[in-house]
Amino acid sequence: IESKLKNWTLDRINISDRLLLQMALSEFEQFDDIPAEVTIYEIIELAKQYGTEKSMSFINGLLDAVHQDQKGSQV
């Protein structure tokens, strides 16, 4: 995730956003049977409830970038 942050460090990210990102990364790594798009959607829904008003787009952008990298490395 840190490699995808532009002008940010992990310690600057809201704690709820960090936890949601960690949950998503864990799902990406541990549950191959769950499509990444489903994980991202679920995390975005949680961000709506528990994050800030900018959390959804921030988390979506980061997770999409991580997912695209993972897809590229699997080819």
Measured in whole angstroms, how far is the alpha carbon of residue 53 from the centre of its chain? 16
Domain that holds residue 44: 2-74
- Average pLDDT (9-15) is 86
Helix (H, G, I), strand (E, B) or coil at 7: coil
State how many domains the chain has: 1
CATH number at residue 57: 1.10.940.10
Residue 57, CA distances (Å) to 28, 32, 43, 47, 63 in order: 19, 24, 11, 9, 10
pLDDT band at 74 (very low <50, low <70, confident <90, very high): low
Task: Specify the 3-state DSSP secondary structure of 17.
Answer: helix
Whole-prediction pTM: 0.85
